[in-house]
Amino acid sequence: MKKWFVFIIAAAILTCPVCATAQEQTSEAQQKETKKKDSVRLDEIVVTATRSEMKVFDAPQDVTFITSEQIMASPYERLEDILRTVPGVYNFRNFGLQTNGIVSPIIMRGVGKNRVLFLVDGVPQNDNFNNAIAWVSWGYIQKETIERIEIVEGPTSALYGSEGLGGVVNIITKKPTPKREASIRGQGGTAASYAGYGFYNQKFNDFGLMLAGGYDQSDGFYMTENPESYNIKRYRKVWKGLGKATYDQTENSELSFAALYYDHDMGKGREFFHDDLELDQYWLNYSYKGDSFGFKGLAYLNHADKTAYQDSAKDNYTSLLREEKMPSTYTWGVDLQGTVTSCDWADLTVGAAFKESSWKYYDDYVTGTRDAGAKGKQQTISPFGNFDFRVLDNDLIFNLGARYDWIKTLDGANWDSNPKNPYDNHFDSNTDGSFSPKMGVAYHPDDVTTLRASGGKGFRAPSLFELYKVHVRSGGTYYREANPDLKPETIWSYDVGAERLLLDSLWSKVTFYQSWASDLIGGRLINSYTKKGKTYYEYVLDNISKVNSYGIEAQLQWYATNELSFFTTYTYNISKIEEDTQDKSLEGNYLPNDPRHNLHVGARYNNPKIIDASVTVNYYADIYFDNENTLSTSDYYTVDLAVAHKFFNHLTAYVNVDNLFNQKYPIFLSTSKADTIAPGIIIIGGLKFEF
C-alpha cells in the first residue's frame, strides 16, 4: 500500500503536462487568475543574488525563494527542514536527532558539509569560532517572523566573502505593516514534545514593531536500534525570541533595529554528553532608495556563550570528564554599500565590509587542576563591487562582480598544563587574502523564458578553532594538533540552465552545475601508538583534499486550480575526491552524507473554507557514510503530511506528520560506533489563535 501511495503521487506530478492541456479548457476567469499567479512569480523581487533589487526571472545566478505562506504551510519548524525540498540542497540531519553536535546539516551542490553561508537580514550567522566548521543553530528564527527565504546556489564569495562555497541562505524577516498580525500558538506530540509561541507585528504611522518568542521542549528519541545501558533519549529545551523596531525617516529611507535571543540545552544520547548554547545578537539597518541612488548600511554584534559537556569513556560514559567552555565569544561587523541606477540599462553597486571575531576556549576538567585552552582573533576587510547591465530591450542581462577579502589572524595561543604533555604556544600574526570574481548572463528569448549561465570563485577562511585549538574526542582516542598555517579553501564553479512558464500554469526550471574545490581542510595523521591495548591517533588539520562535483537540478510547479498545486524537485549529484594527500586510496571515492539521487514530490490544497493540506514524498538513493565508501544504505523514502483547518476566522487547528509510514532509515553508519537510526513517525498537533 505504501508503494502504491508513492506511485500515485509521483504519477500525478510526472503527468502534469497532460493535465495542463486539459486545464486550458477551464473558464476564462480561472485562466486569468492562474496567469496572475504566474505573473507574480515572474515579477518576484530578490536581493541576495546581486545585493540589489532584481526580478528573480532576470537573475543571472540560480535563485530559489520560499514565501512566508509556504513557510507557514510547511510541517516543519526548523529552517533546515523547510529547506529540505529545495533542489541542490540536502539536509542529512533528522528532526529527531535534535542536534548532532557541531556539524551543520545542510549540504548544497555536493561541496561537502559546513560550506553554506547563512544570513539573517544580511547578518552572517556562521560563527567562525565556535568550532572547526562554523556551526549554525538553524532553529532560532521563528517561522512567523520570516517574510521570505532566498537561496542562491553556487559560490557567493564575490558578494559575501567567506563560507559560501556551495551557496548562501538569506532569511529576510518581516517589516511591520499597518494591518496588525498577532497570534499565539501551542502544540504538542510525539516524545512528550510541546511548544508555545507568540507573535505580534504592526506599524503605527512612521513607527513599526515586531515581537516574537517561544519555548520548545521534547523528551526526545532513541536514535539507535539497540540502546546501550548508558544511552538516553536525545532531548531538547529551547527558548527563543526576536524583536524588531522600524522607523520611516522619510518616504525613501528607513531605519530598523533588531535583537535576537536564543538558548538551548541539547542532549546527544548520553547523560553527561550534551551542550548548552546561549546567543544574543543585535543589528542595525539603514536603507535609502532614491530615483538614481540607493544606500544600505548594516552594523551587527553577535555574542555566543557555549558549554559542551564531555563524558568519560573509561567508566562506560557514566560520569562527566570535562566541560568545554567558550564564554563571551564575539563577532561584530559593518557592511556599507551604495547602488547607482542613473540609467535604465545599468546598475552599479560598490561597498566595503569589516568583520572581527574574537574567541576564547577553556577546558574545565572535573578532577584535578589541569588548565587547558586556546584563544584567537580574526579580522577581515573586504571591498566589493557588482555591475548589472541590460541590452536588447532588457532581454539580455549581464552581471559582473568581484570582492577582495584581506584576512588577518592575531593573538593566537593554546596551552595545556597536563604533566604528561604540557605546552604553552603563542603564535605570530598572519595575513592572507582572497580575490573572488564572478560573472553571469541571463537572456529572455520571450516573455516567459530565461536562459542563464554563471560562474565564479568561492572561498572559506580557516576558522579560529581550526587554526589554534587542540581537539580531543572519544575519550582521548582522537587528537588534533593546531595548525596556524592553514590556507583558505577555494572553489571554482559554473552552471547553465533554463527557466520557462509552460501552458500558463506549469513553471519549470533545469540547471546543470560543475565545480572544482581545492585545499579542503581535513585531518592528516602524524602519529599513532598503542597503550594498554588501546590505539591512539594524533592528527593535524591541513589542506589535504581536492573534490570535483557536478549535477543536474530540475523543478516543476503546476497550478492545477486556484486551490490545488503540485511540485516536484530532483537533484542528481556526483561529488568525488580527486586528490587526498593524506590517503591516496580515497581518490576517486564519493563524498559521504550526500545522496546521488534526491527527489521530492508534493501537492498542496488550500481552501480556507475547507482545509489547508499538503503532502510531500521524499526519496533518497546512493548515500555513503564514510570516505572509504564501505558503508552505504539502500534507497529509502519518507512521506510528510500537514493538515490545517480554520474555525471562526481566528482559530486554526493543525496536525503535522513527519515520516508518515514510520520508516527506520539510517542517518549515520559507523564501523566503530552504534549506527544512528531515524526514530520513525513523529506527530505534532496544535492550535493557533489570531487576533
How large is the average pLDDT for residues 575-592? 92
* Residue 479: predicted pLDDT: 55
* Burial of 421 per CB tally in 10 Å (0-12, 13-18, 19+): exposed
Average pLDDT over residues 31-55: 68
List, in order, residues 6 or more apart from 588 with CB less than 8 Å away. 576, 577
Residue 252: count of CB within 10 angstroms of its CB: 12
pLDDT of res. 101 = 52
Predicted local distance difference test score (pLDDT) of residue 669: 86
- Mean per-residue pLDDT, 167-172: 94
Task: Please determine, for residue 474, whether its predicted confidence score (pLDDT) is greater than 80.
Answer: no
Alpha helices (H) in 348-489, listed in sequence order: 464-468
Q: Specify the pLDDT at position 499.
A: 95
The predicted model gives 16-25 an average pLDDT of 35
Amino acid in the structure at residue 535: T
**DSSP state, residue 475:** G
The 10s digit of each residue's pLDDT in 552-574 is: 999 999 999 999 999 999 999 99
Residue 189: pLDDT band with limits 50, 70, 90: very high
pLDDT score of 148: 94
Average confidence (pLDDT) over 223-248: 92
3-class DSSP assignment, residue 228: coil
Confidence (pLDDT) at 30: 44
Mean pLDDT of 592-610: 93
Give the position of cell 509561541. Answer: 197
Confidence (pLDDT) at 593: 87
User: What's the pLDDT at 100?
Assistant: 55
Beta bridge partners of 276: 265, 307
| Residue extents of the structural domains in the chain | 2-690
Segment 186-200 shows an average pLDDT of 96
Residue 678 to residues 386, 459, 486, 674, Cα–Cα distance (Å): 44, 33, 36, 13
More confident residue, 327 or 150: 150
Give the CA distances from residue 57 to residues 168, 341, 442, 455, in Å, rounded to whole numbers and listed in that order: 18, 19, 9, 18
Class for the domain spanning 2-690: mainly beta
Does the model's pTM come out above 0.75? yes
Better-predicted residue by pLDDT, 167 or 6: 167
- What's the pLDDT score for residue 38? 42
Of 565, 647, 560, 503, nearest to 69 by C-alpha is 565
23 pLDDT above the threshold of 50: no
Question: What pLDDT sits at residue 355?
Answer: 95
**Neighbour count for residue 18 (Cβ, 10 Å):** 9
Q: Distance of alpha carbon 614 from its chain centroid, rounded?
A: 23
Give the pLDDT band (50/70/90) at residue 135.
low
- 374, 401 contact by CB (below 8 A): no
- Four-residue CA torsion sign, 649, 650, 655, 656: positive
In the predicted structure, residue 11 carries a pLDDT above the cut 70: no
Most confident segment among 136-140, 214-218, 415-419:
214-218
Between 109 and 7, the more confident residue is 109
Give the largest Cα separation in the chain, rounded.
84
pLDDT of 295 higher than 50: yes
Q: What are phi and psi of 488, to 5 degrees?
A: -65, 145
* 16 has pLDDT over 50: no
Q: Are the C-beta atoms of 459 and 157 separated by less than 8 Å?
A: yes
- 521 burial class (0-12, 13-18, 19+ CB within 10 angstroms)? buried
The Cα 285–Cα 123 span in angstroms is 10
Interaxial angle between packed helices 16-23 and 2-14, expressed in degrees from 0 to 180 and rounded to the nearest 10: 50
Residue 35's φ and ψ, nearest 5 degrees, are -60, -35
The set of residues, in sequence order, having a beta carbon less than 8 Å from that of 196 and lying 6+ positions away, is 184, 185, 186, 187, 214, 215
CA distances from 225 to 222, 231, 678 (A): 8, 11, 9
E strand or H helix that includes residue 452: strand 449-460
The pLDDT value recorded for residue 93 is 75
Q: C-alpha grid cell for residue 6? A: 508513492
Q: Return all residues near 248 (Cβ < 8 A) that are at least 6 apart.
A: 206, 207, 254
Q: Is 293 helix (H, G, I), strand (E, B) or coil?
A: strand
Asked if pLDDT for residue 25 goes beyond 80, the answer is no
The β-bridge relationship of strands 116-120 and 167-173 is parallel
Report whether 361 contacts 374 (CB < 8 A): yes
State the Cα–Cα distance between residues 386 and 540, nearest whole angstrom.
39
Q: According to the model, what pLDDT value does residue 338 have?
A: 97
pLDDT computed for residue 20 by the predictor:
35
User: Mean pLDDT of all residues in the chain?
Assistant: 87
Model confidence at 480, in pLDDT bands (50, 70, 90)?
A: low
pLDDT at 199 > cutoff 70 = yes
Percent of the chain with pLDDT over 70: 90
Count the neighbouring beta carbons within 10 Å of the beta carbon of residue 523. Answer: 19
C-beta neighbour count of 17 within 10 angstroms = 13
Q: Using pLDDT thresholds of 50, 70 and 90, give the confidence band for residue 356.
A: very high
* Mean of pLDDT values over 36-45: 57
CA 209 vs. chain centroid, Å, equals: 27
Is pLDDT of 17 > 90? no
Model confidence at 523, pLDDT cuts 50, 70, 90, reads confident
Average pLDDT value for residue range 428-444: 96
CA distances from 12 to 510, 522, 524, 602, 634 (A): 20, 45, 50, 9, 25
Return the pLDDT at 313. Answer: 82
Contact yes or no for 380/406 (Cβ under 8 A): yes
Burial (Cβ within 10 Å: 0-12, 13-18, ≥19) of residue 289 = middle
Looking at the predicted structure, is the pLDDT value of residue 292 above 50? Answer: yes
What average pLDDT does range 189-203 have in this prediction? 96
Strand partners, 183: 199, 690
pLDDT above 60: residue 513: yes
97 close to 234: Cβ distance less than 8 angstroms: yes
Q: What is the pLDDT of residue 538?
A: 77
Any idea what DSSP says for residue 659?
S
Contact yes or no for 155/456 (Cβ under 8 A):
yes
